[in-house]
Amino acid sequence: MSRKLSWTRRGEWLELMPGKLPAREGLDRLDAAKAWLEEELQAPPKLLRKLRAEDGIKLAGDRLRLLAFPPRVSQYAPFEAELPLLYEDDFCLVVHKPAGLKVHPDGGETSGGASGQSLASPDTLANRVAGWYASLGEPIAAAHIHRLDEDTSGPVLFAKNEYAHLKLDEAMSRKAIDRTYIAFVQGIVSPELKVIDQPIGRDRHHNQRRRVSPGGKGAITHLERLEVYPKHDASLVRLTLETGRTHQIRVHLSAAGHPLVGDALYGGNTKWLSHQALHGERLSFPHPLSGEAVELEDPWPPAMNRLRDHFSL
């Protein structure tokens, strides 16, 4: 729930203006401040206990300060490359991930020379974010809150400090972070196809694939048909997810007889595009401090616009 809140960043400290906090029976002033933060801001209790123990909560009249922005070293080696920013403040960063780039290293990205030589920093979105802050001289260890497939483009949300990380993780767990996708699929999608509710599990015959399986985990995809292209036997659809299973959109559309254009792993034809035609179009999330809704759009990448132009001929 959003709330009106006056706050200022002062170096490593977050300064809040809650007004004069009333004394609470059996609590000293700092414990009363901690209780107010938990009740009014739903601040992470785990983090507040840590700050209380490390003298990271301070009171001065009607000002309440938290050590919310201490310098941190990223676990990702900096990689300097283009990083299209969609949104940034003291708590959050949202960047566009292009198709063909992994969100984070999985152990297969580094390459080096002979034994004893240092390996090159992997080129992933997380490493590019680390490189961005290193180039600015800012000691920030941004952590991604969600992921996209390597060949899916779209916005990715990062938390810039521990407070934001805990709050956004909690928002993910209660499904308060919404993502909307657009996709080009094969076949003419029926306007009656609005929900795909089928469990998804691993494909024991293929390590990379998932499949619709009665023994899998519940998965629900909402679908809206936007355009059809009879000449090319293809459709444009918009998708939202109630669940976030691995490859959910790709599995569900393939099972419905409409594999994504370019998605060879799930039966899509690659004659128009060499990777799945799937793009994260919109992202919304509650701001970790204020609770206010942050809503962002990520413009279509050129490859998707070219595909639409081709299908529209």
Distance CA 142, CA 73 (A): 9
| Rounded CA Rg of the chain | 23
Calpha distance 217→266 (Å, rounded)? 19
Amino acid found at 176: A
**Is 149 annotated in the active site?**
yes
What's the length of the chain? Answer: 313
In the numeric block, which tokens belong to residue 205? 């015959």
Catalytic choice (55, 62, 149, 169): 149
DSSP string for 204-224: TT-SS-EEE-TTSB--EEEEE
Contacts of 68 (CB under 8 A, 6+ apart): 12, 13, 14, 161, 162, 163
Residue 32 structure tokens: 């009363």
H-helix segments, 41-124: 45-53
91, 289 Cβ separation under 8 angstroms: yes
**Lookup result for tokens 């279509």:** 300
Residues 275 and 269: their CA atoms lie apart, in Å, by 9
Burial class for 167, CB neighbours closer than 10 Å (0-12, 13-18, 19+):
buried
Cα–Cα distance for residue pair 135/80, rounded to 1 Å: 8
**Of 154, 180, 148, nearest to 300 (Cα)?**
154
Distances (CA, A) of 253 to 66, 187, 198, 270: 47, 11, 11, 16
Q: Catalytic amino acids?
A: 149
